[in-house]
């Protein structure tokens, strides 16, 4: 958690108008919703629309996805008292942002293509416009020796050789590879979240894919702001950290980069590991309230 987190709630509270009116998802999607809960706390999240869990039998239903959920104390607090990377809200259901099961703060309503987030039982909401810096794979450069990779610009993939016996394209050997990409954000913006987009379709175990958003100060000290990690999960993945960062950017005294580490198992494997890029979401210096 960034040391800048305490300033984020205070900054938002200073200029926001909270309402008890519904928020259309078309307006709220990918922006920052700030909610005063029934318990008197402050909750922040980024809403999206997505499928529910397949095991629940409603994989095709439209759920509300609360990304980077952070719950602060009564006065904002120095750090979130609860944080989550993804929180799912089923259609038509009530949701308790406090996570204590005592009161409900939101209702998720879906009617065909339209959907909205409705505050309930005294909860109020405000909406702030977010911006984002997208980093394509072309921005990442290798920083150490290791397995060979090809940067196609739209994705990075390992470079191996075709197995003469099986005909399968395989990495010649295991190892570790590191990539680095610079992150340049507007001065005095607030860093909200970081995301990494990967795919892992390999049948082999032992993969460890991680990414760090690092801060470098004037003395060239490197500090980790947040780490994203996937160990052995299969398929396409959006790696997202829990909660919000809230660090305020000072381009006079610091710089930022994303550092990606791929750990391969010692045995050859099918080369199905790809990096599709990263994204850093931030609250601009000039706060824009959308609703």
Q: Which domains does the chain have, with CATH numbers?
A: 7-128 (no CATH), 132-283 (2.60.120)
What is the pLDDT, as a whole number, of residue 4? 44
Query: Picking from 88-97, 144-153, 223-232, which range would have the lowest pLDDT averaged per residue?
Result: 144-153
Query: Picking from 2-6, 174-178, 283-287, which range would have the lowest pLDDT averaged per residue?
Result: 2-6
pLDDT, average across residues 239-246: 90
Share the mean pLDDT of the chain: 83
Parallel/antiparallel/unpaired status of strands 131-135 and 42-51: unpaired
Query: In this predicted model, which residue has the larger pLDDT, 220 or 56?
Result: 220
- Please determine, for residue 78, whether its predicted confidence score (pLDDT) is greater than 60: yes
Give the model's confidence band at 11: pLDDT under 50 very low, under 70 low, under 90 confident, else very high. Answer: confident
- Please determine, for residue 210, whether its predicted confidence score (pLDDT) is greater than 80: yes
CA gyration radius, the chain: 21
Give the model's confidence band at 271: pLDDT under 50 very low, under 70 low, under 90 confident, else very high. Answer: low
What is the pLDDT, as a whole number, of residue 98? 84
Strand partners for 52: none
Residues 6+ apart with CB under 8 A from 270: 168, 169, 170, 201, 202, 203, 204
What is the pLDDT, as a whole number, of residue 125? 96
What is the pLDDT, as a whole number, of residue 266? 59
CB of 243 closer than 8 Å to CB of 80: yes
pLDDT, average across residues 196-201: 85
Give the model's confidence band at 274: pLDDT under 50 very low, under 70 low, under 90 confident, else very high. Answer: confident
Query: Picking from 126-140, 150-164, 214-228, 241-255, which range would have the lowest pLDDT averaged per residue?
Result: 150-164
What is the pLDDT, as a whole number, of residue 59? 47
pLDDT, average across residues 214-229: 92
Q: What is the spatial distance between Cα 233 and Cα 229, in angstroms, rounded to a whole number?
A: 10
- The per-residue DSSP string of 202-265 comes to -S-S--EEEEEEEEEETT--EEEEEEEEESS--EEEEEE-SS---EEP-TTTEEEEEEEEEEPP
Percent of the chain whose pLDDT exceeds 90 = 44
């Amino acid at each position: 958690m960034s040391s800048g987190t305490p300033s984020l709630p205070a900054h938002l509270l200073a200029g926001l108008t909270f309402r008890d009116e519904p928020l259309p998802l078309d307006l709220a999607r990918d922006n920052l919703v700030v909610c005063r809960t029934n318990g008197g706390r402050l909750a922040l999240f980024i809403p999206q629309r997505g499928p529910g869990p397949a095991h629940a039998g409603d994989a095709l239903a439209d759920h509300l996805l609360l990304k980077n959920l952070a719950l602060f104390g009564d006065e904002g607090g120095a750090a979130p008292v609860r944080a989550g990377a993804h929180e799912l809200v089923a259609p038509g259901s009530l949701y308790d942002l406090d996570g204590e099961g005592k009161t409900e703060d939101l209702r998720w309503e879906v009617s065909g293509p339209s959907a909205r987030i409705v505050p309930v039982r005294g909860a109020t909401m405000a909406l702030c416009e977010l911006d984002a810096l997208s980093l394509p794979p072309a921005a990442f450069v290798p920083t150490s020796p290791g397995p060979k990779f090809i940067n196609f610009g739209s994705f990075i993939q390992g470079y191996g050789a075709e197995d003469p016996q099986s005909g399968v394209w395989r990495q010649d050997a295991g190892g570790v590879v590191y990539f680095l990409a610079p992150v340049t954000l507007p001065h005095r913006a607030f860093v909200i979240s970081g995301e990494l987009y990967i795919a892992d379709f390999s049948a082999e175990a032992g993969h460890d894919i991680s990414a760090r958003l690092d801060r470098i100060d004037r003395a060239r000290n490197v500090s980790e702001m947040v780490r994203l990690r996937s160990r052995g999960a299969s398929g396409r993945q959006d790696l997202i950290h829990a909660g919000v960062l809230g660090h305020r950017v000072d381009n006079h005294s610091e710089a930022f980069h994303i550092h990606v580490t791929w750990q391969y198992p010692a045995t050859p494997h099918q080369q199905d590991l790809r990096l599709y890029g990263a994204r850093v979401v931030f609250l601009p210096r000039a706060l824009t309230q959308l609703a």
